[in-house]
Amino acid sequence: MPVSRGDSVPFTHPDIQAIVGRLETAADALAQQGGTLAWGVFRRGETAIAANGDVPYRIASMTKSFTAAAIGLLAADGLDLDSPLDRIIPELAGTSIADRTCRQALTMGTGFTKDDPWADRVEAMTRTELIDYVKRGAIPIAPADTGYEYSNLGYALLGLVTESVTGKSFIEFVTAEVLHPIGLSRTGFDVADFPDLMSGIRIDRNGEGHPAELTGPGVFSPIGGVISTVNDIGTWMNAHMDALEHLDAYAPGALPRILTDNQQSHRLVEVQRSEHHAESVNYGFGLQPRLDSRFGRVVCHSGGYPGYGSHMRWFPEMGLSIVVFGNTTYYPAESTVRDAIDAGWAAATGDPGLRLTRTSTSVPAPHHQVAPAQSATVLRAANLVIEFEESVAEELFTINMDLDEPRAERRERFDAWRDELQLTQPFTADDVTMTTPLKGTVTVPDSRSGDETDSADTTATITVSLDHLGEVQTISLSS
């Protein structure tokens, strides 16, 4: 007698009602901020439980799973994933990314740094503009294949690979060869095709909501340009579980086999632990495969964009999948799903009040040496908190900075933080610690307390991250 995958392995099936309850609580919390949560819980063979299941949202970096599927189709048709990018895109010859490969881009192994704030604002960039940008001297922070560095730049170049190989636009190819065969009728790339798109919201430091600006399709669409619904993503997740379950039924070049390949672990990211579980976190092709001691195999991916946050996660051994969309900037959808799953597991084990406290150990990675210009930029950016100079901001800021936070609001936030910490003197080079060639931190002793014992153990930090050209893409304050 045949058995289901869930019946054949000794993993704990989480309590569905506890999951739903936690998602409903998260929806209420977002509503208090003026936002709207869409979510779906899918069990194979059962009716889905969903809220706002047919409302389109931007799904941001969950898009990478579609980009990886497109590249998989090209590989099945002869594309060499280990060929240097400049052999496929000749215009890249002589650039710092020319010798990187599709495989390294797929697995976040190019050595180019995390670039979400900048990349999220340049979706409509053209092919020529991207090539010119890279030719200006894009800076890797590490050699290829020496660690995990989440970078959108590689996925944008995978879009150019698609166009170079097929002679079609990336969006045209993905729509015809991936979206339509799976039956995703409410999934696409152009906001003009979705008049009912859920509006995105930027929440300022005072808790006020503002409409988030929409971007149009372009060369960075492969990193996060997809618009979709909870129900369509439910179909997408189910297609991945089908592919795993019926592997032998598909030819090697068929889309389901490619979806199977994309769910394999290629690069270890970190190991998470709590008193009650252990979980490896890896990167595959456009997906994040995990192994959880409670549930077995887990596959997921998050997305964050101006005005949106998303997360999809499925459990092949359980026949279970969950997706969450929020419509505030970088809504923490991954932690929302994680907390719901933890609640479902705790309820299933008879201890519904249990909360898991995680620690994580990331895989160490070597970095290139820091250039003096990079540390100098971090110092100048940090000193904007002490005294904001418009001319310095104009010189240092990337395109995203004023879009992410209007300059007047940024100055107000900087002033309030500086005054709270009673900071008056500019920072010096000795105050800067570079964690990578494109990221540095200034640590500030806390002078707010008159108790020297307390203040000695309390610090505030300014963290500055730079884009691939060494320009400022974030200035984050922590206290």
Q: Are 382 and 432 in contact (CB under 8 A)?
A: yes
Cα separation of 381 and 439, whole Å? 11
Cα separation of 191 and 193, whole Å? 5
Where do runs of H (alpha helix) occur along 147-209? 152-166, 170-174, 180-182
3-state DSSP assignment of residue 324 = strand
At 447 the pLDDT is 53
The identity of residue 355, as a single letter, is R
* Domains of the chain by start residue, with CATH: 1-368 (3.40.710.10), 372-478 (3.10.450)
Cα–Cα–Cα angle for 256, 257, 262, rounded to 5 degrees:
95
What stretch of H or E contains 222?
A: helix 221-224
At 31 the pLDDT is 98
Listing DSSP states for 235-281 in one string gives HHHHHHHHHHHTGGGS-TTSHHHHHHHHTS--EEEEEEE-SS-EEEE
Q: Structure tokens of 285?
A: 């092709």
Cα separation of 434 and 439, whole Å? 6
At 2 the pLDDT is 30
Cα separation of 302 and 311, whole Å? 4
Q: Structure tokens of 24?
A: 């409903």
> Cβ of 453: how many Cβ atoms within 10 Å?
8
Cα separation of 146 and 86, whole Å? 21
Q: Are 161 and 71 in contact (CB under 8 A)?
A: yes
Predicted confidence pLDDT, tens digits, the chain (479 residues)? 233 444 455 799 999 999 999 999 999 999 999 999 999 999 999 999 999 999 999 999 999 999 999 999 999 999 999 999 999 999 999 999 999 999 999 999 999 999 999 999 999 999 999 999 999 999 999 999 999 999 999 999 999 999 999 999 999 999 999 999 999 999 999 999 999 999 999 999 999 999 999 998 999 999 999 999 999 999 999 999 999 999 899 998 999 999 999 999 999 999 999 999 999 999 999 999 999 999 999 999 999 999 999 999 999 999 999 999 999 999 999 999 999 999 999 999 999 999 999 999 999 999 999 999 999 999 999 999 999 999 999 999 999 999 999 999 999 999 999 999 999 999 999 999 999 999 999 999 765 444 444 444 568 999 999 999 999 999 999 98
At 336 the pLDDT is 98
At 454 the pLDDT is 47
3-state DSSP assignment of residue 38 = strand
> Cβ of 387: how many Cβ atoms within 10 Å?
12
